[in-house]
Amino acid sequence: MPKIILVAIATLCAIAGYLFYMKQQHAVPGPEVSPADSVVATVAPAGPVQVEFELGDLEGELRSFDEWSDRHRIVNFWATWCAPCRREIPLLKAFQDAHGADGFQVIGIAVEFPEPVIAYAEKAQFNYPILVGEQDAMAVAESSGISFIGLPFTMVVAKDGRLVGAHMGEIHQQHLDNIVDVMNKFEAGDLDISQAKQQLDLL
């Protein structure tokens, strides 16, 4: 192989390694995530964004996001092939058990075709609704001001439908604890929408 090609390959590998290192330096501590499974996405709404959509569930029935408008919603975008997405599921199930009666609702959105999601759901035994849609699921994120590129990511939506925060990458217990604290203060009127976004520290 010509020497110039070897030099070019070595240079590209060095750049890729540096970029991954810098990304890891700013990551939230938690289980190791393969670079192939990590997220790259941006959130760009200047003001409050109203989240509205319809997607099919595991039975093929069309469900409206407004169905859960009496609760603060934790909207988790995932796929069966995504390792960090799968690691989140037990945590989100435990969160739903602990806080479902307190006005919180987890909603999973599988960015995938229905068949593998249905098969996986039989093993996962979800205790929260799973909606499915490949391109349609990406459109939900983009209509909320999120440039979708990877998984997992999670949106926090208030009872009134306003987007309060979006977490890029694997979610951990400290994120969920903070969501509960901030959204309870927001509902009590102790925080406005801007203060809630700042204290969630998810954007």
Q: What is the pLDDT of residues 136-186, one digit of tens each?
A: 888 887 887 776 667 998 999 999 999 998 888 999 999 999 999 999 999
Which of 22-36, 96-110, 166-180 is predicted least confidently? 22-36
Instruction: State the CATH number of the domain containing residue 119.
Output: 3.40.30.10
Shared domain for 184 and 122, answered yes or no, is: yes
Give me the pLDDT at residue 199, please: 86
Q: In the predicted model, is pLDDT for residue 63 greater than 50?
A: yes
Confidence of residue 55 (pLDDT cuts 50, 70, 90): very high
- Interatomic CA distance for residues 76 and 90, integer angstroms: 13
The predicted structure's pLDDT at residue 2: 52
80 and 109 belong to one structural domain: yes
Please say whether the beta carbons of 128 and 96 come within 8 A: yes
Query: Are 26 and 80 found together in one domain?
Result: no
| Residues 69 and 21 placed together within one structural domain of the fold | no
Q: Do 6 and 18 lie in a common domain?
A: yes
pLDDT exceeds cutoff 70 at 86: yes
Q: In the 8-state DSSP scheme, what is residue 162?
A: B
The domain total for the chain is 2
Averaged pLDDT of the chain: 80
Q: Which ranges of 26-113 does DSSP label H, i.e. alpha helix? A: 83-99
Structure-block tokens of residue 154: 């999670």
Task: Round to whole Å and give the CA distance between 133 and 126.
Answer: 17
Residues 51 and 13 in one domain: no
Indicate if 52 and 15 belong to the same structural domain. no
Closest CA to 67 of 53, 82, 79, 77: 53
Query: What would the pLDDT profile of 120-140 be if each residue is shown by its tens digit?
Result: 999 999 999 999 988 888 888
For residues 97 and 71, membership in a common domain is answered with yes
| Domain encompassing residue 20 | 1-30
Q: Are 105 and 163 members of one domain?
A: yes
pLDDT one-digit tens code per residue, 31-40: 333 333 433 3
Phi, psi (rounded to 5 degrees) for 200: -70, -30
**175 in Cβ contact with 30 (< 8 Å):** no
Which tokens sit at 39?
């997220």
How sure is the predictor about 9, in pLDDT bands with cuts at 50, 70 and 90? very low
